[in-house]
Structure 1
Amino acid sequence: MLLYNVTLILEESAAAEWLQWMQETHIPAVMATGMFVSNRLLKVLDSPNEGVTYCTQYIAENQENYNQYQQVYAPALQEDLNEKFKNRFVAYRTLMEFVG
């Protein structure tokens, strides 16, 4: 099992709009790909950064599903994010493996 984590640091003025868009549009679109078995959305409370920080986490059963997501689905989904919130966020993406 793999955890794909996307951390976004948003301008405060964009945070409420982004949160609604994530919950209503983006996360359902990612889950509709069938490449992930679950997800969660978290707000970072003790971020040292200015703005508002969120982590969106998706669980993939295997490397093949994650790779297919990255190759087939991620470019268009990330472009939607970039167009809608251009210059109002910074994103960091991390892939982690469960070890315990």
Structure 2
Amino acid sequence: MKFIYNVTIKVDWSITEEWLQWMKEVHMPEMIQTGCFENSRLLRLMEVDESDGPTYAAQFTAPGKEEYNRYVTDFAEALRKKSYEIWGDRFIAFRSVMEVVH
């Protein structure tokens, strides 16, 4: 059974373009390179309050629970730390895990 690791991120307007480029060219490829995820996609949430900045959902597909757990154990902390070192408090992230049922 596949799992989707979803990170919903509210980004400050001051970093939006730079952050998008970093997500597409650096962070999302690094996530795939962990070997824990098969693919990824980045979506922009619509019909939400954007007064402080846009909101995105980065989704990563793990082939199973074992691969997702390996990501959490071996890679998550370092990759999160890297994000905060680059962007500081100019973003807010909320993480969730979903099981694909159909």
Q: Same fold (TM over 0.5)?
A: yes
Partner of 1:95 in structure 2?
97
What is the DSSP-based 3-state SS (H/G/I as helix, E as strand, rest coil) of the residue aligned with 2:75? helix
Identity level (%): 40
1:41 CA drift (Å): 0.6
Q: Which runs of 4+ in 1 moved over 2 A?
A: none
TM-score, normalising length from structure 1? 0.95
Structure 2: 5+ residue stretches without partners: none
Structure 1: 5+ residue stretches without partners: none
More deviation, 26-35/40-49: 40-49
Deviations 1:25-70 (A, max 9, x none): 1011110011001110111121235311111000001111000001
User: Aligned-pair RMSD on alpha carbons?
Assistant: 0.9
Within 5 A, what are the aligned runs for 1:21-100?
A: 21-48=22-49, 50-100=52-102
Q: How many residues align?
A: 100
What is the DSSP-based 3-state SS (H/G/I as helix, E as strand, rest coil) of the residue aligned with 1:34? coil
Q: Which whole-Å CA distance do the structure 2 matches of 1:87 and 1:33 have between them?
A: 25
What is the DSSP-based 3-state SS (H/G/I as helix, E as strand, rest coil) of the residue aligned with 2:31? helix
More deviation, 88-97/38-47: 38-47
TM-score, normalising length from structure 2? 0.93
